[in-house]
Structure 1
Amino acid sequence: MMLTQNNNQLMLEGEWTIGNTPIIEKSIAAIDWTKLDLSNAIEINGSALTSLDTSGAYWMGSIVKALKAKNGQANLTAFHGEFANLVNFISDKMNAFEPDALDDPKKDPFFVAVGKRTYLAKDQTYRFFDFIGQVAMVTFKNLAHPWSIRWKTMWSNVQTGGVQALFIIGLLNFLIGIVIAYQGGALLKQYGANIFVVELISISMLRELAPLMTAIIVAGRTGSAIAAQIGTMVVNEEVDALSTIGINPLDQLVVPKMLALIIALPFLTVFADVCSVFGGMVLANTYLDVSFSTFVERIPQVMTVDTLLVGLAKTPLFAIIISLTGCYQGFRVSGGADSVGQQTTISVVQSIFLVIICDAIFSIITRNVPI
């Protein structure tokens, strides 16, 4: 044992160093506090110590803190000169930092908490609109001088954010087309109205579901990648380095990503339209006895080009929302990897939320557009 208990005296023995931490812990745990007369000061004697480092001093300081928690007092005696200095230093630091005070923080009253959250939300909203304004200025400047656009970076983002997303977008929309056709077709089949599955699939998918699902997938895939990439650059101080050498980070990082997504998302939506309608065709052919030829021939009879255009018209707005939200949350990263993960998660949630809100508003605005 590294500690001997004798009446109101605790005798420290041997080497109190980091290598003996398990033994020291067991020795401290074996202290019988009931045998100590806490009405008098407890003597902690260091005359038998042969070695002491900061780890050992920390554990000795924990004994002092335990005594204070029990309303007792400690008296450090017989420590060698260098040991005494180290013990006093560690004890002072432990007194300056009281983790027990942080275990049960005092909660704000309800209305105070609501006020703080409201103020924080207002502040974040102002910052976001300020960010949008800065990006708009840089974007218009680049569009006025096309040679200043980072074309290579932009096409690289089209590749990663658009082309590489084709498979997952095509597969999910194909499955959604099957599900919609199956769920709606089961009811239509009861009334012998199997043929109306064409209207169900073509109108619902092309006008609403395919653009919305594509935007949600892109928000989760590309939006999170944007936030994580910029956030990592912020942590590594690469963004500060760009500013130091005279390059506007918005010009280098935000505008190419936004323009790339504005270009890619409409094409991804068209691809999603085709895949979802094809999924509905497969289900209609196997479950509702509506042949491929009949399905294809009926599509132009039941819908107009306006239906397709309404779905495509909202995709540039979705692209702007996803790219700006991802970039904004990436720039808000501070600290280390934990912050990158936090802001990436926030960017995905906010992007999907804003995309759905935008889609709802757009649906109300275009309600009079003929199907």
Structure 2
Amino acid sequence: MSAKRKAADERPATIEMATAADGAERVVLSGDWRNRGIGAVVSDVTRLEKSHGDGRLVVDASGIGLVDTSGAWLIRRMILRQQAAGRDVELTGATETLSELIDALPQHEPKGPPEPQDDRSLFQKIFEPPGKVIASFADDAVAGMHILGSAVAGAQVKLGRGSGVSAASVVTHIDRMGVRAVPIIVLMSFLIGAIIAQQGAFQLRYFGAELFVVDLVGILQLREIGVLLTAIMIAGRSGSAITAEIGSMKMREEIDALTVIGLNPVGVLVFPRLVALTIALPLLTIIANFAALYGAAIVAWAYSGITFETFVSRLHEAVDYSSVAAGMIKAPFMALAIGIVSAVEGMKVGGSAESLGQHVTSSVVKSIFVVILMDALFAIFYSAIDF
């Protein structure tokens, strides 16, 4: 028999109210009380449950055909609620199958979970959330130091002992994090340099000082924007990948397997990535600086008529080695911060895909926050030492 014929043969569930011969209230149930057919009578049953009458209630189930657990529970719930209201309920005409189903169901309607009660004081409600955030930052800092120490110790980089660092692993991660990131870094930096030059020239034109756009782009790009935006791009691109890779290994218990065979998982997995990031980010920063200056030179020539020779000559006058060093010094520290934060979040991943997604997102957000914070601290430090 086809599915269409089976659906056509099914009788819709119905419920009718009547009066018994002895004056008792009578409820007549008929049709097929199965999961896909009882939707039509749910509202009628609910209305009957709420309208608690007086006297005896007779539930006539002789007209019921097919029935499953859903239909039986709907009947059982109606009887329980009427009995809870103090009525005498009698079930008549039920088949053996229906009687067995109803008897197998709970004798009392299960109660839902109690509503949570918040007994905290107003002071706790206000200061507990920021306190938890600060405590989580402290825990992350301790975990980061643990990751860094375990990575170095696990790699066995010690005087008089062979290096435990896999050169192939480091080169592979440099290729993934550095070489494959060159196109997007070049494009982004080229556009940023061009935008800064265009906006700077537009504003400086009012003062007849369009040539100083070279100073603006050179100092801003080399000291701040180059390394900062490159680090942010790497945090979003490579930091998320580190968290996803380590998190996936943790979900599949591969990290536990490394521990069982006597290897330090942090040293094996994290240290090569930290080394690769520390090498790749400064190199990407250099590439980003050249791309941004090239974009600025093109816009300055097209928008303000500043030739390439004039641009380079003015750049030599405006920028010294301290400007280049100020940006490049930040790069290794930012790379370590991105790698450590990403590894910490990867180690936190639980056994679900939802946990992996949450920690990957948290990794990117925290990495970008740490990078910007480090850039601000370096700026304050440079100002303090007049660098």
**Alignment check: 8 A CA contact 2:69 2:101 kept:** no
RMSD: 3.2
Whole-angstrom distance in 1 between the partners of 2:269 and 2:216? 41
Letter in 2 for 1:6: M
**Counterpart check, 1:138 vs 2:150:** yes
Which residue in the other structure is 2:273 paired with? 257
Amino acid at match of 1:23: G
Is 1:4 matched up with 2:20?
no
Q: Are residues 1:150 and 2:162 paired?
A: no
Larger Rg over CA atoms: 2
Does structure 1 retain, via aligned residues, the 8 Å contact 2:45–2:78? no
Distance 1:318 1:296 in 2: 29
Does the aligned pair in 2 maintain the 1:306–1:370 contact within 8 Å?
no
Counterpart of 2:132 (choices 108, 112, 120) is: 120
Aligned-residue offset at 1:253: 2.1
The residue number in structure 2 matching 1:95 is 110
Structure 1 CA distance for aligned equivalents of residues 250 and 85 of structure 2? 48
Determine if contact 1:28/1:63 at 8 Å carries over to the other structure: no
1:6 is paired with a residue whose SS is: strand
Given the superposition, is the C-alpha separation of residues 37 and 129 from structure 1 closer, same or farther in structure 2, using an over 3 Å criterion? closer
Which whole-Å CA distance do the structure 1 matches of 2:32 and 2:265 have between them?
A: 55
Pick one of 21, 24, 44 that aligns with 2:35. 21
The one-letter code of the counterpart of 1:38 is H
Q: Give CA-to-partner distance per residue, 1:115-162, whole Å, 9 cap, x none.
A: 432443344234323322322322332232563123333222212111
Rounded to whole Å, the distance in 1 between the matches of 2:381 and 2:337 is 18
Distance 1:277 1:166 in 2: 16
Find the aligned partners of 2:138 and 2:76 in 1 and give their Cα distance.
Answer: 48
Q: Whose helix fraction is larger, Structure 1's or Structure 2's?
A: 1
Residue identity opposite 1:172 in structure 2:
M
Residue 295, structure 1, aligned to residue 311, structure 2: yes
Q: Is the 8 A contact 1:216 1:352 kept in 2?
A: yes
Check if 1:286 corresponds to 2:302. Answer: yes
TM-score (ref. length: structure 1) = 0.84
Q: Given the superposition, is the C-alpha separation of residues 43 and 95 from structure 1 closer, same or farther in structure 2, using an over 3 Å criterion?
A: farther
Residues 63 and 240 of structure 1: CA distance in aligned 2, closer, same or farther (over 3 Å): farther
The one-letter code sitting in structure 2 at the alignment partner of 1:259 is V
Separation of aligned partners in 1, 2:90 and 2:260: 54
Q: Hey, what's the Cα distance between the residues in 2 that align with 1:347 and 1:107?
A: 34
Q: Residue 162 and residue 61 in structure 1: after superposition, are their counterparts in 2 closer, same or farther (change >3 A)?
A: farther
When the two structures are superposed, what TM-score results if normalisation uses the length of structure 2? Answer: 0.81
Give the stretch that moved more between structures: 354-363 or 131-140.
Answer: 131-140
3-state DSSP class of the match of 2:16? strand
Q: CA deviation at 1:54?
A: 3.9
Deviations 1:242-276 (A, max 9, x none): 33333322122222222211111001111110111
Amino acid at match of 2:184: I
Distance 1:75 1:303, change over 3 A: farther
Alpha carbons 1:215, 1:318 under 8 Å: kept: yes
Match of 2:247 among 231, 235, 241: 231
**1:86 to 2:104 alignment:** yes
Task: For structure 2, list consecutive stretches of 5 or more residues without a partner in the other structure.
Answer: 1-11, 19-24
The alignment-based identity, stated in percent, is 30
Query: Where in structure 1 are there 5+ consecutive unaligned residues?
Result: none
Q: CA deviation at 1:288?
A: 0.9
Quick one: distance in 1 between partners of 2:174 and 2:230? Answer: 15
Q: Distance in 2 between matches of 1:75 and 1:126?
A: 63
